[in-house]
Chain A
Amino acid sequence: MRISKYFKLSAMLTLVALAGCTKLDESYTSTVSADQAASALGANGVGLLLGSAYADLITPFVSDQGAIFSLEENSTDESLVPTRGGDWDDNGVWRVVHNHTWNADHSQVLSVYNDLNKLNFDATNVLAFKPSKEQAAEARFLRAYALYYLLDLYNQFPFRNPGDNLLNAPKVYKGPEAIQFIIDELTAILPDLGAGNSNTQANPSSAKALLMNCYLNRGAFNNRQSPTFDDADMQQVITLGTSIISSGKYTFANKYFSNFNRTNGNSPELIWAFPSSSGLTVNNPSVNTRWMMGFHYNEWVGQAPNAGWNGFSTTGDFYKSFGASGQTIDYSLNDTLVDTRIGRRRLSDSLTTALSGIRPGFLVGQQYGPDGTPLKDRKGNPLSFDPTIAPTMIETGNNLEVTGIRVAKYVPDFSVENGDKYYSSNPGNWFVFYRYPEVLLMVAEAYLRQATPNPTAAMALVNTLRTARGAVPVTSLALVNPTNVDDPNTMLAERGRELYWESVRRTDLIRYGVFLTPWDYKTTDDPKYLVFPVPNQALAVNPNLTQNPGY
């Protein structure tokens, strides 16, 4: 009797308990499964995924000055970040990039690796969602762009096919196989890219420009210590470049800095850029970091002492490379025309002057406010930038706020019609990936590097550009001066003058065989620094990666 009562009771409770049973499956809310993404997002889904791949360009290439820009520019003579008393020590992270003493735990080496692979992943993922031929080509272009930078920086890249199990270690491409893979990808997609694509999308010219990068650098990627260049590759560069030049789509902008100001979206030089508009908060590439990172705290009276972060500078030697063809250049800024690309004191081809006194280009010597008042630093000393930086890159003197020449390549967005709102966030400047002059310079370089060099053809191209920039034409053109990387009379210097602070300098110096030569604040070097190490964290989880020699 008692037992049956217990039995009934436990049966009842079991029923109650079972009724409460759930399968414990997680039900999606703000997120969805892959299957749901494929079905629920419908026809727009692929476009949304492709949008993410484009947005992945922002962090590594634009908004974070400690990403691609740092690895490709601070590691060269074009840029450095001196520690200024209480500022910019940041655990030495900037100095080790400039004096070539980084290691496999460097935070920027890791974050760039992860950021580029995020682009690699998101672009690959587009291919798993039945994209149109055109969308697939755009995604593969973006992936190739990420792979090109991974190869350039780390000499290898991991690769997954769409739908691969993400818990498994992927294949790794390295060496000649790697660059060939990127070339094959780009060659394959070129016919699928819409000729009518805008310059904010992957387009045939951007794919050709990237392909030219690949062919031009193949000899260096395969042997960074002593690059050799195959004639067939150089002919590819010339053919691809000529097809862009002869397309008639691109021409020189009237003013150099209109490629970088808040209306640079209209520039006829842009081949591929990341769009923006003043005040846009969504997916804004945040080009403002490019000026804030160097400007002094008091650079603009309207926002002093927060008008800049007082960090990035360039070296005096690089500045001197603007004195081409017998012209000498000093820091006195006599406003004699040397080359519009250097910028001129208080002369502006932008909207800047009226509001700020900041002129685009290289900022050296006394800085002025909008009404011509000389500016002061935070200690009350004249705000006058001094080209000399302490050899240790640790400034401790009374002038620690003003050492180093600053660079205003991207021109601050004051958006006159709206007041002064977009100086430090949400500016309208587009970010430039490829400009027409880079194509010209690559073709010219290929003429010099082909089996039978053709300096005449090279100089003709270079001089078109120089004329457009208000510089005198050159009459002779060497590739490089191996004992002085900043010799003004070289092809390398011409690239530096046109493309400074556009994240190509490290690749250039390696291709020209001078990356290991000493320059300011880097006295010795080791060939291992021709590539960055694979981050230790990445190495630990993917056994297919191999650490680069020496690390």
Chain B
Amino acid sequence: MTMKRLLRRISFLFLCVSFTQLAFSQTKVVTGTISDDKGAPVQGASVAVKGAKGGTTTDATGAFTLTVSANARALVISSVGYNQQEIGIPVDNKVSVTLVSSSQGLNDVIVIGYGTTRRKDATGSLTLVTAKDFNQGVITSPDQLLQNKVAGLEIVNNSGQPGSATTIRIRGNSNIRGNGNPLYVVDGVILDGRDARPSLNLGIGGFGQKPEDNPLLFIDPYSIQDITILKDASSTAIYGSRGANGVIVITTKKGSSSAVKLEANASVGFNVGYMKRFDILPYGTFVSALSKYNADTTAAKLNLGSKVDPMHDITQSNPIQNYQVSMSGGNENGKFRASFLASSTPGFIQNNNLDKYIATFNGGYKFLDKRLSIDFGLIQGHVTNNDVLTSNTAGSAGNLISAALQWNPTASYYNPDGSFRNLGNGTPNPLMLLKAYNDVSNINTTLANISASFKILPSLEYKFLYSVNQSDGSRNASVDGFVRGLAPLDGNGFGSVQNASLTSQVIDHLLTFTTSFSPDFHFTALGGFEYWKSNYSNNQAVAQTFDFNQSELSLIKAKYTDIMFDGKTQSPFQSFTDITTEVQSYFARVDFNFKDKYYLTGTFRADGSSKFGANNKYGYFPSAGFKWNIANEDFLKDNTLFSGLSFRATWGITGSQDFPSGSAIDQYSFTSYQHAAQVNAGNPDLKWEQTMQYDFGIDFSILNNRIHATVDYYNKNKTDILFQSTAIQPGPAATTWINLPGHLLNSGIEATVDASVVKTQNFSWDLAVNYATNNNKITEFYAPGTKTPLAINTGQINGQGVSGTLGQIITNNQPVDEFYLKPFKGYDQKGNQIVGDPGSETFAGNPNPTSLFGIATTLRYKKLSLSLNGGGSAGFKIYNNTATSVTNIAGIANGRNIDENAYKSAEQPSSGVAASTRFLEDGTYFKLRNASLTYNIGNVGNYIKNLNVYVSGTNLFVLTGFSGFDPEVNIDKNNNGYPSTSIEYIPYPTPRSVQVGVNFAL
């Protein structure tokens, strides 16, 4: 280097310094507001001077103040979910910018497995749903935010009870065993998928198995920033032996680098009626029915002279309340967010209430010149569930809904002395069941994680993550002894105290390397190690026959579960600890990007699991994905039609290890009090279930990004099916776990269109629709080592007269859980239904929807906006088990209310009960999930910013031909662990709800 050049450089440096000083002395202050195309302020938008460093972000009102050099000419404004925009700085230094939402958000950062990517760089089939697109209205669990939002994602609320479990299927029903739910990942932490609410099977008095609740209740739905659904194998294979059912990645809201702000929202609502009633006879028709069937005789008076509506009398209208406050803020070296949610969601049935208190706290701080980042997150949720007597498998009497459906509408509920009337016709008094049944569970869940990322080099980052997810649940359930008509509980009573605990832990080591071989050729590589373990334990004490609360006229406040020692019949205390599951994994991902035109992604994971048999400890899961971004090709540079066009092709193998720990080894245990026996015959060859999936997709945008569309074809082939095969007798159990070399195929097409139909200053109309098809079939489903097709009967049909009946079959060349029923052949001359003989069962219909659709639209006029979200399923059947055995015509002879369809038919009360195709109904439906009308008042006074008020309706209507409460139903009617699909049986009804709410920032 010559002296001359050195001098030149030094002088240049001085020049720069003096120029900067000059700039400091000559600055101007630009202020402005940023709003979206609906006129709502955009918070956290980044505002920067074009071509210069530094900048600021907008506050809750969308306002910003930025000091810029006097000669700055333009600002660049960007925000997640909006197209980046440049605006010149006007002379008055005041700007007002309306951002256009990019419905496709190509620059959005999407969370993928163990990392992030920009949406435009993603090769896999994944869908990001951000908070602004979530479902609104009464939301109790995070999965409800997504219903009908994503093509190919089916989310079924199993019943209308707040907090009920959901059945989630990504790209079709792919489980012959287990629950088939996707893997949940919250802020990088793999969840166990279970929760610590003890399950309850009363097993006496006709009561059956209580429905399970939703394991995600501890997550505050209002603190979720976005949810990514990973659908194809290129996206999910990095999760290896747990990725086969798809992955749902939840990211919670984080603080932003801006001044501390406080946000609040509050809402109050009411359940205002049944979304749809079950068609039993109204009072007047019931009275006519008594005479039509000569049921009201002098010997047995069945018209009892009163008039009641039990389905109304068991309901309540307590307010649904949600209150949430959050505080967040930070600077460029650190940020935090803390929020607190208190919500109370009364069910539509009396005494039923779901209370949630959830604190969410997270932060991230940078050290060592930002080379070291420490991030932490803490979710602490407390959920109290006051349950009522619903049940999946109740017999003739043990269910509140069946009691209310059947109760004689001419019978008053009380005797003259105020005690509960017992009609003695096999239907217990519904109000008595409400009063006698107590079931309270409390679950405390902590999800804590801390991670440290260190930039070893600018291109190389090491990350360590540790997380613990601890959930403790207790459940006290009792039935007071004054209950009548429920032997053997009458005059005895029952109490059960249960506790459960679930602990899972994760340790991750990740190394990410990013480099550019040339300006056009980018490369990213990820390598990682993960250790995950989970353990579940529970215990239970049961007592029967108590001294107190034997009469409803002299009750004391204590529950049996408060004084279990009073129970004369004490069952031995039981406790159980699951064998700990450990999963140890090594994984890697490489991404190549050439000129933003050609993308290649490859992943590989090796998963070792303690559950697998000794001969198969490790499974290997590869995937590859390719994307061709055609829009960036020269030959499309000048086209005016496509603003974006790309083609994707991916392939990969994922696994499932959804079977109980300990299945691969011999186990001895205490089978009952003071008895021990072998309980499992180990299978050392047991391994994961394997799913190979390929996917072809096209993404395109037209009309200057006004319309975006994505179309995918997918094909999944599951083999080595985890299966409980008949054990070879004599053996310790009837079944044993094996990998069955059959195939379960799911294929279909998914299409999503987002359109900005109208976009003007005062009026806009956005529309998003999605549609997916699914073809589901089992092939080569043979008994092990043979070519004899297997036929697994499942789908318990419950109730009086149909014990032991199974309505579905899992067999070769049929969809999973195909209905398998005897044909219904009308009525004979005496009005008895004619049903095929035993053995005449035929394949009667598919319980799995063959198409799913969703629609979301927002209409805005100035500050008023209306958004509607709905969707449904088509091409499937639902079995109405309620009509089969609860509201069947035989009941009228004993003064029980019956089905309107039966009343209108030629059937007579002597007709037998049988499961048949008669009760198989078309399940196709469209449901308007929610509609919200929001008025953006804006800033009020000096403090309140961005005030919105809204009114919102949930489950406003459903269009369907199904005669039950709700075609969106999936009562768990599994048989020996083989799941069922689309059977309705006296479910908790779905209410229609209305809410008003307000939100604002300070």
Contact = CB atoms under 8 A, between A and B. Distances in A.
Interface of A: 5-6, 9, 13, 16-17, 20-22, 24-34, 36-37, 41, 45, 48-49, 51-55, 66, 83, 85-93, 96, 101, 103, 107, 113-114, 117-118, 120-122, 124-125, 158-160, 166-170, 279, 281-283, 297-298, 303-307, 376, 378-381, 394, 396-398, 400, 418-421, 423-426, 537-538, 540-542
7 contacts: A24-B612, A31-B680, A85-B890, A90-B801, A118-B732, A167-B728, A298-B424
A108 to B, nearest CB: 9
Interface in B726-772: 726-734
A30 B910 contact: no
Interface stretch (B487-495, B694-702, B991-999): B487-495
Contact of B529 (A17, A49, A297, A424): A17
A103 B839 contact: yes
Contacts of B667: 28, 31-33
A20 B672 contact: no
A420 to B, nearest CB: 7
B729 A542 contact: yes
Contacts of B676: 37, 41, 45, 48-49, 51-52
A24 B671 contact: no
A281 B802 CA distance: 28
A31 B669 contact: yes
B299 A121 contact: no
Given A36-B668, A90-B802, A120-B730, A421 B545 contact: yes
B488 A29 contact: no
| Most chain A beta-carbon neighbours within 10 Å: one of B537, B617, B804 | B804
A454 to B, nearest CB: 41
A281 B672 CA distance: 11
Contacts of B804: 66, 90-91, 93, 107
Contacts of B527: 13
Contacts of A32: 667-669
B424 A305 contact: yes
Given A29-B579, A45-B676, A52-B677, A86 B730 contact: no
A282 B572 contact: yes
B913 interface: yes
A90 B912 contact: no
Given A24-B582, A51-B674, A86-B888, A538 B668 contact: no
Interface in B57-107: none
Among A20, A49, A90: residue with most chain B CB under 10 A: A90
A24 B532 CA distance: 11
Given A306-B487, A379-B297, 4 more contacts: A85-B909, A379-B299, A380-B297, A542-B728
Nearest to A292: B487
Across the A-B interface, give the 7 residue pairs with the lowest CB-CB distance, nearest first.
A380-B300, A86-B890, A52-B677, A117-B729, A121-B730, A48-B676, A380-B299
A27 B894 CA distance: 56
Interface in B569-604: 569-572, 575-580, 582, 584, 586
Given A31-B662, A85-B913, A86-B888, A48 B670 contact: yes
B291 interface: no
A33 B665 contact: yes
Interface in B543-579: 544-545, 568-572, 575-579
B397 interface: yes
A159 B729 CA distance: 8
A49 B661 CA distance: 23
Nearest to A58: B672
Interface in B423-454: 424-426
Contact of B910 (A37, A91, A400): A400
B110 interface: no
A26 B891 CA distance: 53
Interface of B: 204, 297, 299-300, 397, 424-426, 456-457, 460, 462, 485-488, 490-492, 507, 509, 511, 527, 529, 531, 537, 544-545, 568-572, 575-580, 582, 584, 586, 608-612, 617, 661-662, 664-681, 683, 725-734, 783-784, 786, 788, 790, 800-805, 830, 832, 837-839, 885, 888, 890-891, 893-894, 909-915
Contacts of B888: 86
Contacts of A25: 610
Contact of A83 (B297, B670, B912): B912
Contact of A88 (B665, B673, B801): B801
Contacts of A53: 677
A20 B734 contact: no
A53 B584 CA distance: 40
Contact of B610 (A24, A117, A298, A421): A24
Given A89-B914, A282-B571, A305-B424, A22 B531 contact: yes
Contact of A52 (B579, B612, B675, B910): B675
B152 to A, nearest CB: 34
Contacts of A28: 579, 662, 667
Contacts of B577: 29-30
B531 to A, nearest CB: 5
A51 B805 contact: no
A376 B885 CA distance: 24
B662 A26 contact: yes
Given A51-B675, A91-B805, A121-B731, A396 B665 contact: no
A538 B544 CA distance: 39
Contact of B569 (A31, A36, A281): A281
A28 B801 CA distance: 43
B912 A125 contact: no
A303 B397 CA distance: 14
B576 A30 contact: yes
B487 A281 contact: no
Given A33-B666, A55-B671, A26 B580 contact: yes
Contact of B729 (A16, A37, A51, A158): A158
Nearest to A38: B668
B728 A397 contact: no
A86 B885 contact: yes
Contacts of B488: 421, 423-425
B397 A306 contact: yes
A122 B677 contact: yes
Given A26-B610, A90-B801, A33 B668 contact: yes
A134 to B, nearest CB: 18
A117 B826 CA distance: 43
A13 B670 contact: no
Given A17-B509, A20-B531, A55-B671, A170 B730 contact: yes
B885 A26 contact: no
A493 B834 CA distance: 39
Contacts of B805: 90-91
Contact of B728 (A37, A54, A166, A282): A166
B160 to A, nearest CB: 27
A90 B457 CA distance: 72
Contacts of A419: 491
Contacts of A297: 426
Nearest to A378: B894
A293 to B, nearest CB: 12
A203 to B, nearest CB: 20
Contacts of B832: 396
Contacts of A20: 507, 509, 529, 531, 584
B490 A96 contact: no
Contact of B487 (A113, A121, A158, A424): A424
A9 B461 CA distance: 11
Contacts of B571: 281-282
Contacts of B665: 26, 33
B673 A283 contact: yes
A86 B727 CA distance: 35
A168 B680 CA distance: 15
A170 B731 CA distance: 10
A306 B299 contact: no
Given A85-B910, A166-B728, A282-B672, A378 B425 contact: yes
A92 B837 contact: yes
